[in-house]
């Protein structure tokens, strides 16, 4: 199984810097990003590693395939286009991060209207860990992620 992860820069000079990637071994991958072992992404080593060290903000586990592209390029992802994935009877709340509500009269659950293209673009232009969490919550409320038995590690 794959793990999609969100890294955040722990450097006080780059608090908004994030990186989204995937791996089958999160510990090894973090060591690579921080320059402790060979490998890692070029983007996390740019500028001689000025944004290092990196730390995990969240890891999404149990993905059957590499799906980090949906999160990396959220403005183009097919999972947020239209309302095909979110029928009127399905509801999702940010608090449950993508899990279905058992009760349809629960006031904390919100319907998922179709997301217009301009809103998808606005969502993609947000930076920082909080913006990436909002993007992730929005993705986890959609098919096929809604039906997956995903694990979130903070």
Query: Looking at the chain, how many residues does it have?
Result: 154
Per residue in 133-150, pLDDT tens?
988 888 888 877 888 888
Per residue in 93-114, pLDDT tens?
443 444 433 333 333 344 455 6
| H/E segment holding residue 56 | strand 54-63
| Predicted structure pTM score | 0.69
Residue ranges covered by each domain of the chain: 2-153
Alpha-carbon distance of 135 to 115, in angstroms, equals: 12
Give, to the nearest 10 degrees, the angle between helix 117-124 and helix 129-140. Answer: 140
């Amino acid at each position: 199984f794959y793990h999609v992860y969100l890294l955040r820069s722990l450097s006080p000079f780059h608090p908004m810097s994030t990186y989204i990637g995937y791996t089958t071994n999160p510990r090894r991958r973090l060591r690579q990003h921080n320059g402790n072992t060979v490998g890692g992404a070029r983007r996390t080593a740019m500028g001689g590693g000025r944004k290092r060290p990196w730390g995990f903000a969240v890891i999404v586990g149990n993905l059957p395939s590499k799906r980090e592209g949906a999160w990396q390029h959220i403005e183009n992802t097919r999972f947020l286009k239209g309302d095909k994935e979110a029928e009127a009877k399905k509801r999702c709340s940010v608090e449950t991060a993508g899990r279905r509500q058992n009760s349809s009269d629960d006031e904390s659950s919100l319907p998922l209207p179709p997301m217009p293209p301009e809103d998808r673009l606005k969502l993609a232009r947000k930076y920082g860990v909080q913006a990436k969490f909002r993007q992730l919550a929005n993705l986890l409320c959609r098919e096929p992620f809604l039906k997956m038995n995903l694990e979130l590690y903070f």
